[in-house]
Chains A and B, each alone.
Chain A
Amino acid sequence: MKPRRRADDAPTTLEQLLAAKEIVVFCGSGGVGKTSVAAAAALGASVRLGAKVLVLTIDPARRLATALGLDGLGNLAHRVPNETLKAAGIDGRGELWAAMLDTKQSWDELVLRHAKDEETAYRILENRLYHNLTARFVQSHDYIAMERLFEIHSSGEYDLIVIDTPPTRNAIDFLEAPARMADFFGGRLLRWLTLPYRVGGKRGTRVLNVASRPFYQMADRILGSKFLQDIAEFFLNFQSMYEGFVERSRAVERLMHDKRTTFAVVTTLESAPLHEAERFCAELVARNFHLGALVLNKTLPDLLLDPAGADAATACIDDAAPLAAALAETADGALGDPTRTARVLRTIGESYRNFSVVAMREAELRAELARVPDVVARVPMFEADIDDVTGLAEISAWLYGAGG
């Protein structure tokens, strides 16, 4: 990936970056801790900027959802109570709000809004293909997340919206979702596929034109005509929403490119997520999205890079026996068994060496990555899981450069 040239007035901290933005989209592959990082970034922004911040999460771990008070809320936004924040030692000027994305509910709302009348809306909602499309079609989550973001943003209720993206197989799909949706519902292919049903007058009467005949013969042989008819009926209904839908998709896409929107890519320094993150950064830049920050999560602490540590580890391994003998004389009863002490010294020396191999490889990668976006934040691996507001505050301190 080519390093991007940095503008002189580019922000260098996450705080500076977010102060000028209204939307920040956190992306990255599964398992990198995106949800916690997004929540922590929102928490930090509310405190530091004194802003009203919403974090829109997609699929939080249960205990994190509970910590944010999100249990059973569906699409409703909810303010994280000041007492919860105070209990975690956070004295915020701002407000932290949280909401979860309920895909099914969001789709239903969308249909109700765009359908030409209630009857059409309910015909769509009851179609089994609608259920398939919205619940199982992976990209439908991407689209609906964007759509929901647009809806919340245009309400003007928040100073900043932090969104956690769905776990896509390919993060680029997320960005293309609005265009793809518009394309899908507005495309010639859909008109072509539903043509025999539209020109036939009475629904179900197939008047085939010459161009589509081989396709229908083929499709009939493979799928059976009842199935095709179901598809066509569904899309005839869905097409009635076409204009509203496409217009909306375009607006969502514009918002993603707006200068008030920025992207933050989260990754660990393991090879697979990192590879994905690098590809994603390059794609963002190539598509003219604003790549604001790169967050390196779950990194090993610097103490594993200490040359003195490496020397001490060697001493622990090579001189385990004499060290243990000396310790048996100096310390009290706990170190009375030199054989045991020597074994423990060797173990910790080897463990240090093991972990520093990984830490050194990470440090190299961090140095390479530092050239990519304006803001690079690093969050260490914590000894325990992050599942409460105190933990989020800790991540937040690292994100905003005050950790450690």
Chain B
Amino acid sequence: MEVPAPALLDRRLLFFTGKGGVGKSTVAAATALLASNIGKRVLLVEVDAKGDVPAQFERSPVGFTPREIHPGVLAMAMDTEASLQEYLKLNLRVPILGRLGPLARVLDFVATAAPGVKEILTIGKIAWEVREAIEGRADFDLVIVDAAATGHIVAQLGAADAIRELVDVGPLRNQTQWVSELLADPAITAVNVVTTPEEMPVVETIELVERIRAEVDVPLGTVIVNRVLPELFTHADEETFDALRVAPAIDLLRERAGNGAVAVLDGARLAVSLRRTRAVHLDHLRTAVDLPLLYLPYLFVRAHGLRVTRMVADALGAELGL
């Protein structure tokens, strides 16, 4: 069953997914910052290594080995080849990796032929870090994943189960069992979907929530609606606004505040319309998805970096009642 939103940060593994361009990395980074603010230590994992995550903290890109990029926030970039090497070292005690030949090329090849291999190396590494944290062997409490976008996340979450369907015997099969169990535990894991109040992101969110429920055994957490425009007026205020836009009010405004008054009124009109168009998509989302919804305001800045991450973290904290 769904756990109420405030319990979100009490879990051990939070995925953030969503359609490209909705601000998934920013929300993942802000959640990590928020968790560190309340005294948790976080491992932030970047799956599609574009270097976006450390940039949210004004830091340079990270590698496979976690590095502290902010007090209480460690970050690492997923690298399936490094993950395979680590897996082999830990599980099969392969003495000389050199004997494997061109590991990267072989891995690339096998992964291309059999989707699931790269996904399991990704999800396996993440699950391994979470288990280390739960058993007190890691120097962090919570793993936050800036995960794959909507098109790819289901394959990633379901990789452990898919491998067991494909592979009949062998250590890999046994190794995937505990990964599936960890991912399925609602006390540990939650998949959060980031969206914006726009048509395609909302449609993809609804479809993704349905697919996750139908195809994988991983609990859903919250839907985070990013970039929500402010409601400018109450209904009565809007009547006043409409009266300002016509004569004689507009003439008086032009006289007293200058001709720019028209631009100000048109600008407000645009703000109202944009908000209204988005409200339709929000309503659609609310009726179609029965998960806790968190709202983050549209930020009237076009930068990103630590300042924006802080603003988003504060807004998220307010939504979570922290």
Given A61-B199, A215-B101, A348-B264, A357-B232 contact (CB < 8 Å): no
Is the pair A227, B166 in contact by a Cβ cutoff of 8 Å?
yes
Question: Across the interface, which residues of A come within 8 angstroms of B301, CB to CB?
Answer: 357-358, 361
Q: What is the CB-to-nearest-CB distance from A285 to chain B, in angstroms, rounded to a whole number?
A: 20
B65-73, B130-138, B177-185, B242-250: which lies at the A interface?
A: B242-250
Of A190, A268, A319, A323, chain B has the most CB atoms within 10 Å of the CB of: A323
Given A61-B200, A308-B258, A358-B302, A347-B232 contact (CB < 8 Å): yes
Is the pair B200, A355 in contact by a Cβ cutoff of 8 Å?
no
CA–CA, A137 to B273, complex, Å? Answer: 40
Is the pair B303, A355 in contact by a Cβ cutoff of 8 Å?
no
Q: Which residue of A lies closest to B230 (CB)?
A: A351
Tell me which of B50, B100, B249 contacts A331 (CB under 8 A). Answer: B249
Is the pair A133, B113 in contact by a Cβ cutoff of 8 Å?
yes
Is the pair B115, A61 in contact by a Cβ cutoff of 8 Å?
no
Given A355-B270, A355-B300, A29-B21 contact (CB < 8 Å): yes
- Whether B48 sits at the interface, judged by CB under 8 Å, is yes
Question: Across the interface, which residues of B come within 8 angstroms of A349, CB to CB?
Answer: 264
CA–CA, A310 to B249, complex, Å? Answer: 19
Is the pair B304, A362 in contact by a Cβ cutoff of 8 Å?
no
Given A30-B19, A311-B258, A224-B170 contact (CB < 8 Å): yes
Tell me which of B109, B198, B258 contacts A189 (CB under 8 A). Answer: B109
Given A307-B260, A315-B258, A190-B109 contact (CB < 8 Å): yes
Is the pair B171, A222 in contact by a Cβ cutoff of 8 Å?
yes
Question: Across the interface, which residues of A come within 8 angstroms of B258, CB to CB?
Answer: 308, 311-312, 315
CA–CA, A32 to B262, complex, Å? Answer: 29
Is the pair A361, B302 in contact by a Cβ cutoff of 8 Å?
yes
B35-43, B148-156, B208-216: which lies at the A interface?
A: B148-156
Question: Across the interface, which residues of A come within 8 angstroms of B302, CB to CB?
Answer: 269-271, 357-358, 361-362, 365
Question: Across the interface, which residues of B come within 8 angstroms of A341, CB to CB?
Answer: 240, 244
Tell me which of B200, B261, B268 contacts A31 (CB under 8 A). Answer: B200
Of A29, A61, A222, A230, chain B has the most CB atoms within 10 Å of the CB of: A222
Name A's interface SS.
Answer: helix
Give the contacts of B191-207 with A (CB-CB under 8 A). Answer: 196, 198-201, 203
Give the contacts of A328-368 with B (CB-CB under 8 A). Answer: 330-332, 334-335, 337, 340-341, 343-345, 347-349, 351-352, 354-358, 361-362, 365
Q: What is the CB-to-nearest-CB distance from A317 to chain B, in angstroms, rounded to a whole number?
A: 10
Is the pair A383, B270 in contact by a Cβ cutoff of 8 Å?
yes
Given A29-B21, A224-B173, A272-B52, A193-B304 contact (CB < 8 Å): no
- 13 pairs, A vs B, C-beta closer than 8 Å: A221-B171, A222-B171, A271-B304, A272-B52, A272-B304, A306-B263, A309-B260, A312-B259, A313-B264, A315-B256, A327-B244, A352-B267, A361-B302
Residues in B lying within 8 Å of A, measured CB to CB: 19-23, 25, 48, 50, 52, 92, 94, 99-101, 105-106, 109-110, 112-116, 148-149, 151-152, 155, 166-173, 196, 198-201, 203, 230, 232-233, 236-237, 239-244, 248-249, 252-253, 256-268, 270-271, 273-274, 277, 300-304
